[in-house]
Amino acid sequence: MNNKDIATPSRTKEILQKHGFSFKKSLGQNFLTDPNILQRIVETAEIDETTNVIEVGPGIGALTEHLARTAHQVLAFEIDDRLIPVLADTLSPYSNVKIVHQDVLKADLSAETAYFDQVGPLKVVANLPYYITTPIMMYFLESKLNVDEMIVMMQREVADRISAKPGTKAYGSLTIAVQYYMQATTAFIVPKTVFIPQPNVDSAILRLVRRETPAVAVSNEKEFFRLTKAAFALRRKTLWNNLLHSYGKDEATRSWLETSLQQAEIDPRRRGETLSLEEFGRLSNQLEQNKKTREV
């Protein structure tokens, strides 16, 4: 590694001082100061000269630089106007980077990605601010963009929840929402000591690879996600109590739920966290089918 890396502690401090930058807690800014970890992120993402990369929250450009050295092109969204001149300075050696000064959640992704001048694998690689990790991930997963992989740094506990297996404490509606679209694995842990300022918890690099088709075939996606949220509404309650709580307790609803559970061969006394994606899919399809007959 040469000393010119943005991510070394001394260069990071030098850049922050030069631009008189101070951290905004409200934006969840924690800058990584270890070039080796940044290199590992790029390797985990398996980026090469054919890859187009979207980055969220480039900060002072530490990860952006490593991506630019390897990828075809990098499109980075930065919300903090104070960082735009910093990035123009730190990333001036790289002609394959475009910085968009915007909240990624409000961006027109299809218009912005017209920047990429050749078709190749599209990957999202980012050190996500803790307070907005889930909305950003879901935004990409539900967008019309064909994102092949997401390699994202987040709070370790959130990564555990996303990659959790049924029957574990971490397993929940977030697990299902992400695993429906992607295969999730935790690549490695990043200690809190390599950040300025130092966060309170360790981070993890989560690797999400898009499935060719969703994990389960469901007749109504919206209702499938409504069901999975309902199943975890009251953590310690049975599936039956959670469904009554969310869908209603009148006689017709009870009968509809009971029949659907029976046909899907799912014991209503189980807890939501014991159901696999496949079982949730089966129950969702049964509820949907019976709802149609109920409405006739």
Q: Residue ranges for the binding site? A: 30, 32, 57, 78, 103, 127
**Alpha carbon distance 134, 236 (integer Å):** 23
Q: Please choose, from the candidates 133, 19, 13, the residue with its C-alpha nearest in 3D space to the C-alpha of residue 62.
A: 13
Length of the chain: 296
**Alpha carbon distance 233, 181 (integer Å):** 22
Q: What residues are designated binding site for S-adenosyl-L-methionine? A: 30, 32, 57, 78, 103, 127
- Are 99 and 78 a contacting pair, CB within 8 Å? yes
**Alpha carbon distance 33, 189 (integer Å):** 15
Long-range CB contacts for residues 128-132, cutoff 8 Å, separation at least 24: 128/56, 128/57, 128/152, 128/153, 128/154, 129/27, 129/28, 129/29, 129/57, 130/28, 130/154, 130/155, 130/158, 130/199, 131/28, 132/28, 132/105
**Alpha carbon distance 277, 256 (integer Å):** 21
- Kindly provide the b/e burial profile for residues 154-174, where b requires at least 16 CB atoms within 10 angstroms of the residue's own CB: bbbebbbbbbbebeeebbbbb
- Are 49 and 72 a contacting pair, CB within 8 Å? yes
